[in-house]
């Protein structure tokens, strides 16, 4: 579940404001850029208030919120308070068959507040590719990336299709080791873009090829950032305005969201949308409903069947990678970000689970990460038990 934001990189590039979160006025906001070295208190403060420490674009919501009915509490065989405390969840919501079956907030956070998404944003970015295909801005997923981003011409990306970018199988060499100061994640942070050039394009066009395009999966936040540049180049719109136009406003999100900007003023597509917990859940409902917003199909007919199923092997039994979604062989799939952000979707059970949090460490696949996977299974079991009970009565 290595999910990351190169965007930690964008923090505080604008102004070293000692802004304080209203929720934790005693804790000063972090002044450095490396989220991995912030204290837990600093993360608690910053995750809910990214707009006070870096430049953002607003993703406007529409007038009327998509209603979510209140359902009966789901009987889950889990001590929910203990689970949320261990996960350090700021918010957890379970929506099943369109109804709220559980919703709780903690860490002095509430339903009106925004919380950063980290790599959950990747799944929203890939969905905008689908919208751009449907709208005719992107002709085919088999088009080469450099056809839409001319500054990439002559680079290793001349061989890479839009589809291979979506599945992280470009074969272009990339190191996403957060502990290595010479990894691409770290070097990207220190990179100075050529004048007039987007910072992502400026860095990525220098990378060498390590495998033929389409043959090797490697998790690369830089490539999701490139997908964002591709969408805005193809549509002529910012990612924030396109997301608002296609999904946020017509589907009926409750609150404006924000998207963190990189140094050259473009949204960091691989990371860092901040939104309300219920709006992350609504995005899950949008996907569960086949990608319809305002009565219109936002995505091509076959988009979600490809996007949310295994397109690449990732060396984890029973799991895979789709179009910027983590897939499970049981048909469920998830958007995931470091420090415990997630949207889990199970179409068979009409289930959406959205969680925002601040895990003790960025990734802990064998600890809180495994606990969360076990929790998803427990919720699935609870839905099944309820269905079996109803079928007997």
Domain assignments of the chain as residue spans, ordered by start: 6-392
Q: What percent of the chain is modeled with pLDDT above 90?
A: 83
pLDDT tens digit sequence for 353-380: 999 999 999 988 889 999 999 999 999 9
Element (H, E) at 293: strand 292-293
Residue 328 reports pLDDT greater than 60: yes
Residue 123 reports pLDDT greater than 70: yes
pLDDT tens digit sequence for 21-63: 444 456 778 877 678 889 999 999 999 999 998 999 999 998 8
Residue 28 has what pLDDT? 77
| E strands, 165-209, in order | none
Element (H, E) at 319: strand 319-321
Query: pTM of the predicted model, to two decimals?
Result: 0.93
Looking at every residue in the chain, the average pLDDT score rounds to 92
pLDDT tens digit sequence for 190-218: 899 988 899 999 999 999 999 999 999 99
DSSP lists the bridge partners of residue 344 as: 334, 353
CB 156, CB 373: distance < 8 Å:
no
Where is average pLDDT lowest: 96-105, 296-305, 384-393?
A: 384-393
Give me the mean pLDDT over the 261-275 stretch: 95
Give me the mean pLDDT over the 72-99 stretch: 98
The CB density around residue 296, as the number of other CB atoms within 10 Å, is: 10
Residue 177 has what pLDDT? 86
Radius of gyration for the alpha carbons in the chain, expressed in angstroms and rounded: 20
Give residue 188's pLDDT band: very low, low, confident or very high (50, 70, 90). confident
Residue 18 has what pLDDT? 33
Between the alpha carbon of residue 147 and those of residues 161, 188, 213, the distances in Å are 9, 23, 16
Pick the CATH number of 6-392 from 1.10.3720.10, 3.20.20.105, 3.40.710.10, 3.90.1150.10: 3.40.710.10
Give residue 179's pLDDT band: very low, low, confident or very high (50, 70, 90). confident
Q: What is the DSSP string of 100-166?
A: EEEEEE-TT--TT--EE-TTHHHHHHHHHHHHHHHTTSS--TTSBGGGT-GGGTTSGGGG-BHHHHH
């Amino acid at each position: 579940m290595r999910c990351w934001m190169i965007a930690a990189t964008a923090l505080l590039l604008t102004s070293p404001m000692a802004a304080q979160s209203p929720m934790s006025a005693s804790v000063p906001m972090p002044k450095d850029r490396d989220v991995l070295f912030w204290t837990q208190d600093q993360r608690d403060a910053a995750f809910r208030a990214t707009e006070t420490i870096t430049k953002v674009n607003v993703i406007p919501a529409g007038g009327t919120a998509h209603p979510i009915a209140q359902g009966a509490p789901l009987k889950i065989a889990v001590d929910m308070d203990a689970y949320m405390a261990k996960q350090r969840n700021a918010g957890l919501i379970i929506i099943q068959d369109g109804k709220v079956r559980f919703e709780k907030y903690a860490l002095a956070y509430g339903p009106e507040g925004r919380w950063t998404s980290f790599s959950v944003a990747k799944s929203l970015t890939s969905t905008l590719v689908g919208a751009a295909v449907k709208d005719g801005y992107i002709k085919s997923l088999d088009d080469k990336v450099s056809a839409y981003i001319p500054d990439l011409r002559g680079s290793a990306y001349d061989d890479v299709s839009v589809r291979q970018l979506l599945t992280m199988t470009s074969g272009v060499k990339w190191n996403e080791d957060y502990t290595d100061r010479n990894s691409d994640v770290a070097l990207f942070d220190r990179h100075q873009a050529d004048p007039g050039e987007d910072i992502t394009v400026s860095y990525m066009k220098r990378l060498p090829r390590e495998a033929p395009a389409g043959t090797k999966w490697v998790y690369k936040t830089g490539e999701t950032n490139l997908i964002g540049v591709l969408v805005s180049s193809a549509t002529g719109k910012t990612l924030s305005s396109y997301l608002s136009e296609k999904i946020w406003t017509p589907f009926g999100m409750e609150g404006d969201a924000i998207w963190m900007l990189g140094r050259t003023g473009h949204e960091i597509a691989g990371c860092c949308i901040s939104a309300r917990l219920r709006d992350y859940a609504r995005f899950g409902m949008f996907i569960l409903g086949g990608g319809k917003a305002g009565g219109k199909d936002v995505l091509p007919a076959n988009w979600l069947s490809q996007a949310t199923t295994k397109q690449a092997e990732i060396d984890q039994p029973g799991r895979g990678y789709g179009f910027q979604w983590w897939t499970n062989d049981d048909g469920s799939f998830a958007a995931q970000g470091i420090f415990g952000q997630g949207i889990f979707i199970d179409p068979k059970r009409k289930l959406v689970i959205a969680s925002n949090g601040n895990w003790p460490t960025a990734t802990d696949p064998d600890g809180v990460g495994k606990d969360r996977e076990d929790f998803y299974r427990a919720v699935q079991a609870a839905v099944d038990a309820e269905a079996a009970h109803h079928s007997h009565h």
